[in-house]
Amino acid sequence: MSSTTVTETPNHTKTIEDETSQMLRAAEASHTKPLWLQMSRLNPPLPNPRCTPHLWRYSEIQPTLLQAGQLVTEQQAERRVLMLVNPSRGAL
């Protein structure tokens, strides 16, 4: 059973649903998203893993890190970073 709350403004009456829809459109227009609408997806009540654990060993990554530091200049990349990409998920 749903109830509708009405707020009075000097010029007209709007329902909370109308105001919420308008606010969500304004958020989208400013390239923002309401976190409260994403929480169930981002922080589910129970774990729902979709990837398998992966271990990155520094001894295996170190040569590539050092080579990146030598080959990639600051002009090419302000930060020379190797992302740790889980093989079961892929890169962003």
Residues 38, 7 share a domain: yes
Residues 56, 17 share a domain: no
Number of compact structural domains in the chain: 2
Cα distance between residue 41 and residue 36, in whole Å: 10
Residues 31, 71 share a domain: no
pLDDT tens, per residue, the chain with 92 residues: 555 555 555 545 579 999 999 999 999 999 998 998 888 877 878 887 778 899 999 999 999 999 999 999 999 998 888 999 988 886 66
Joined together, the tokens standing for residue 34 give 């309401």
Per residue in 44-72, is it b (16+ CB within 10 Å) or e — as a string?
eeeeeeeeeeeeeeeeeeeeeeeeeeeee
Domain that holds residue 57: 51-92
User: Could you tell me the pTM of the whole model?
Assistant: 0.46
